[in-house]
Amino acid sequence: MIELRPGVRLRSTVCTTEVVVVRSAAVELRCGGLPMVLVGDSPPASPGLDLAHAAGTQLGKRYADPASGLEVLCTKGGEGSLALGEAPLLRKDAKPLPSSD
């Protein structure tokens, strides 16, 4: 398991998704149903994208898990969706700004 600390860059082994860790946690991050690898590492042979984990990722969006504290920023979008094990990692929406009435 890769140590997920701030600044670590990961990529999917089944699609073009790449992320950078913003907040660390001791968990296994997956994309498209398979564990992610460090950018620059050669990926192991993969059976392909798991259709149950094919909701996709969006460039520039943050994904977070409140229970573990993990937060990642998507630096390259792809077809696979992010998950911690089998639990999907939810997209973190921007906080609304206060009105200036």
Domain ranges (residues) in the chain: 9-92
pTM for the whole structure = 0.86
Show pLDDT as tens, one digit a residue, over the chain (101 residues): 788 999 999 999 999 999 999 999 889 999 998 999 999 887 777 778 888 888 999 999 999 999 999 999 999 999 999 999 889 999 988 888 888 76
User: What is the spatial distance between Cα 96 and Cα 81, in angstroms, rounded to a whole number?
Assistant: 25
User: What is the spatial distance between Cα 58 and Cα 41, in angstroms, rounded to a whole number?
Assistant: 23
